[in-house]
Amino acid sequence: MKRMLPWILLLVVLAAVGASVAVRFLMVEEKPVDPRGLSVEVLNGCRVPRLGRAVADELQLRKFDVRMVGNVDSVYNETTLVERVDPAGSHARRIAEYLGVQRRLLGLPFGDKQHPLITVELDSSRYVDVSIVVGSDYEVFLPDAVPLH
């Protein structure tokens, strides 16, 4: 038993070092996408009064160029980014990456990032790159957007 004790201690130390390296590797934060240069409109799609303005204010604090705030007639359960300019949806993908949220389990990153939905509906008459339709899940992507009552 005395001969095994140094080996057990070595295994414990190696396991601790390995766990530490793994945690540090998993916790590497990605650089956020720069939203400058993208013009957006914010459309309230979940019928929470004044939520569109609250989201627009939050996005402006994050350096987005918010051109318009309004409402949509339908109720959206999921926040949706509608690409208006590029058929490939590149602007909406940049914003989706910016708003993406990393799921966590016990404080550690877990699984893929959660992103808003993306659709492409080209409309150059809107004078924006992306329409952000705020859905009922807005607190996932914009937890700091609090509508004033």
pLDDT bucket at 80, cuts 50 / 70 / 90: very high
Which runs of E-coded beta strand occur in 20-129?
39-44, 65-71, 80-83, 101-105, 108-114, 117-120
Q: Is residue 34 part of a domain?
A: no
Beta-strand pair 65-71/39-44: parallel
Q: Is residue 16 part of a domain?
A: no
Q: Is residue 9 part of a domain?
A: no
Q: Residue 73: what pLDDT?
A: 93
Q: Is residue 27 part of a domain?
A: no
Residues 81-139 pLDDT 10s: 999 999 999 999 999 988 888 777 777 777 788 899 999 999 988 899 999 999 999 99
Comparing 31-40, 51-60, 80-89, the range with the smallest average pLDDT is: 31-40
Q: Is residue 4 part of a domain?
A: no
For residues 6-19, one letter each, b for 16 or more C-beta atoms within 10 angstroms of the residue's C-beta and e for the rest, the string is: eeeeeeeeeeeeee
Print the domain residue range for 84. Answer: 39-141
Q: Is residue 29 part of a domain?
A: no
User: What domain count does the chain have?
Assistant: 1
pLDDT cut 90: percent of the chain above it? 52
Q: Residue 101: what pLDDT?
A: 84
CATH number at residue 115: 3.30.70
Q: Is residue 14 predicted with pLDDT exceeding 90?
A: no
Q: Is residue 149 part of a domain?
A: no
Q: Is residue 10 part of a domain?
A: no
Model-level pTM?
Answer: 0.75
